[in-house]
A and B are shown apart, each in its own frame.
Chain A
Amino acid sequence: MSEPAKPRRTLRNAGLALLAVVAVSITYWMTLPPAPPVAAGAVPPPAAGSLPVVSGLGGDFSLPSTTGTDLALADLRGKVVLLNFGFTHCPDICPLVLTRMGAALRELEAQGADMARVQSVFVTFDPERDTLDHLREYVAYFHPSIIGLRGDATQTADLARQYKVIYLKQDAGSASGYVFQHSDFIYVIDTVGRVRLLVGSKDPEAAIVEAVKRLLRDSQKDHSDQLAAEKK
């Protein structure tokens, strides 16, 4: 009686094993990342739709730069500009933001973006301690293409007001001397000088990459929009 039962049990065990394999496969398939929308090796296109213009802040400026001459935003027409503010004695947030900026630039390079049309700019609000020589070495560390700007106290305050950057000198009772409390946005500026996005330090690095790609793609439309606006 027990003899014929054996093959049946074996069959049932085999069935259970098959079920288990199927279940595991389904689970595995469900955890797989979605297939990339483009063929392997191709540069993923930026998302459709354009970024809205951020109104109420931004505009042209001209400050002494680490290139040896003054740099104006108007000089960077035709380029997507990543503008960021900080100070080199900042231990935590500024280097964090600059590290992400450098990583985003490297990612854009890797994706084959036209880097001749992308410019990162770091403005110090500590001209007292950040000389241009100091600033040059500091920004180059995060990416060799980053330009540092250093205005005098008035120029710095004016530019900050223009971009609604908040910075306040603060005595934190630290042996490092004074620090600044400050906002930490990266301003993404289009090829005609308009602010299109503010990226916070908690936003992913991909947000910077994506914004730059979209603005490079939209540069012709932005240019004609700007011409039309100037005619009005």
Chain B
Amino acid sequence: MTRMVTVLFALLLAGSAAAAPAIHLQGGWARAMPPVTKTTAGYVTVMNHGDADDVLLGARVDGIRVVEIHEMVRDGDMLRMQRRESVAVPAGGSVQLAPGGLHLMLIDAQQPLAAGGRLEGVLRFRDAGEVKVTLDLRAQ
């Protein structure tokens, strides 16, 4: 009986330890824009150090009315913007949100997007839940 409880307990422990995504965000930034422009793009590298896949589902950024995930897709000489509902972040892998590819589209900024500023928010993941993100506003 004691042995059975021990085994069960060990299994439970193993179960909770396994299959956990561990999301780390690195190098978050957003492109600074002139005061007339209320829309910009945010970029960040999403790393999953865990041993289970996770999925980026969305984001929320303070002072930005709407945040969407978009991807620039190249068709020959043509660039097309595509809205993404989710982005898979494989276990042990990483996904780069970077210029010319995936980005957070920050729509209707209620605050200046001047260089040197900083935006705070969260990225929402299917399993890891909300992970804090900081986007430094840079003119680049």
Of the stretches A85-93, A206-214, A222-230, the one at the interface is A85-93
Q: Which residues of B contact A140 (CB under 8 A)?
A: 34
- Majority SS at the chain B contact face: strand
Interface residues on A, range: 20 to 34
Contact of A99 among B77, B81, B82, B139 (CB under 8 A): B139
Contact with B along A109-122 (1 / 0, CB 8 A): 00000000000000
Q: Are A92 and B34 touching (Cβ within 8 A)?
A: no
The 15 listed contacts between A and B (C-beta, < 8 Å) are A91-B39, A92-B41, A92-B99, A92-B105, A95-B33, A99-B31, A99-B139, A137-B34, A166-B78, A173-B83, A174-B81, A175-B68, A176-B39, A181-B79, A184-B79
Q: Tell yes or no: B37 within 8 A of A by CB.
A: yes
Which 6 A-B pairs give the minimum distances between C-beta atoms? A141-B34, A181-B80, A91-B41, A175-B66, A183-B77, A137-B36
> When chains A and B are docked, how far (Å) is the Cα of A95 from the Cα of B107?
15
Given A92-B81, A175-B107, 11 more A-B residue pairs with CB atoms under 8 Å apart are A89-B37, A92-B72, A96-B31, A99-B31, A137-B35, A170-B80, A172-B82, A174-B107, A176-B39, A176-B107, A183-B79
Given contacts A89-B39, A174-B70, A176-B39, contact A182 B106 (CB under 8 A): no
Q: Which residues of A contact B72 (CB under 8 A)?
A: 92-93
Chain B: interface residue total (CB-CB under 8 A): 31
Q: Are B68 and A174 touching (Cβ within 8 A)?
A: yes
> When chains A and B are docked, how far (Å) is the Cα of A172 from the Cα of B31?
21
Q: Are A172 and B81 touching (Cβ within 8 A)?
A: yes
> When chains A and B are docked, how far (Å) is the Cα of A176 from the Cα of B38?
10
Q: Which residues of B contact A138 (CB under 8 A)?
A: 34, 36-37
> When chains A and B are docked, how far (Å) is the Cα of A138 from the Cα of B113?
13
The closest CB in chain A to the CB of B140 belongs to A99
Contact with A along B13-37 (1 / 0, CB 8 A): 0000000000000000001011111
Contact with A along B43-86 (1 / 0, CB 8 A): 00000000000000000000001101010100101111111000
> When chains A and B are docked, how far (Å) is the Cα of A182 from the Cα of B107?
20
